[in-house]
Amino acid sequence: MLELVLAGGWLMSPIVLCSVLSLAIIIERGWTLRRQRVLPSGVVEKVSAWARQRELDRKHIESLRQSSPLGRVLAAALDNRDRAREVVKEAVEDTGRHVVHDLERFLNTLGTIAGITPLLGLLGTVIGMIKVFSAIMEAGVGDPAPLAGGISEALLTTAAGLTVAIPSYFFYRYYRGKVRAYVVGMEQQALDLINTIEHGNRELRRSELGWG
């Protein structure tokens, strides 16, 4: 492996660096974007239980906000639960944008790596071919060693760039889609929770007025 890196020329260094950075981001985002961490189960049920027990105070809402990205979105809905539905929806969407920003951390870097590594490989190809033609001009085509060296450098950098770019682009798109799906799910759960609380409040008022 080291021989291949050395044979690829100096452009292999940034490509290898990009590969290490890409792998680190892929592993870190894979761990961070686990469903149980972003959308933990049982949160909505727990908040609904707080509502039934009249425990939706500032302390409980703040603990919910700190618990998970889903908790942040639900807390935004709960903070505005006594306002008009349009206000609640706007607050949920605004918080959702902030959650997206946090969940997409490092993904722009991963996308940049997917974009620049093929260009680095292409640059290596161009440099390798320049070396080939320079060798032909100096020594003709009788000695194949300089020609083989330049062609090898061109092919190695191209292959290395594509090897890094393809999985980087795949995971960039995969994680972006995963984040979008998470946020849509969080917003829907927040609005469903508000509907549940509003329904419970109406039933409670009817019961207190003796209409039930």
Contact criterion met (CB below 8 Å) for 50 and 60: yes
Contact criterion met (CB below 8 Å) for 158 and 13: no
> For residue 129, which phi and psi values (nearest 5 degrees)?
-70, -35
pLDDT tens series, the chain, 212 aa: 556 555 556 788 899 999 999 999 999 999 999 998 998 888 888 887 887 777 778 888 888 899 899 888 888 888 887 777 788 888 888 888 899 999 999 999 999 999 999 999 888 888 877 777 776 676 665 566 666 666 777 788 888 999 999 999 999 999 999 999 998 888 888 888 777 777 665 665 566 555 55
Question: CA 153, 154, 157, 159 torsion: positive or negative?
Answer: negative
Tokens of 99: 């959650």
Please, which contacts does 13-20 make with residues 24 or more away whose CB atoms are closer than 8 Å? 14/120, 15/117, 15/120, 15/121, 15/124, 15/157, 15/160, 15/161, 15/164, 16/160, 18/113, 18/116, 18/117, 18/120, 18/164, 18/168, 19/117, 19/160, 19/163, 19/164
How far apart are alpha carbons 85 and 77 in whole angstroms? 10
| Helix (H) or strand (E) run with residue 29 in it | helix 12-32
Tokens of 130: 């320049």
Say what the pTM is: 0.80
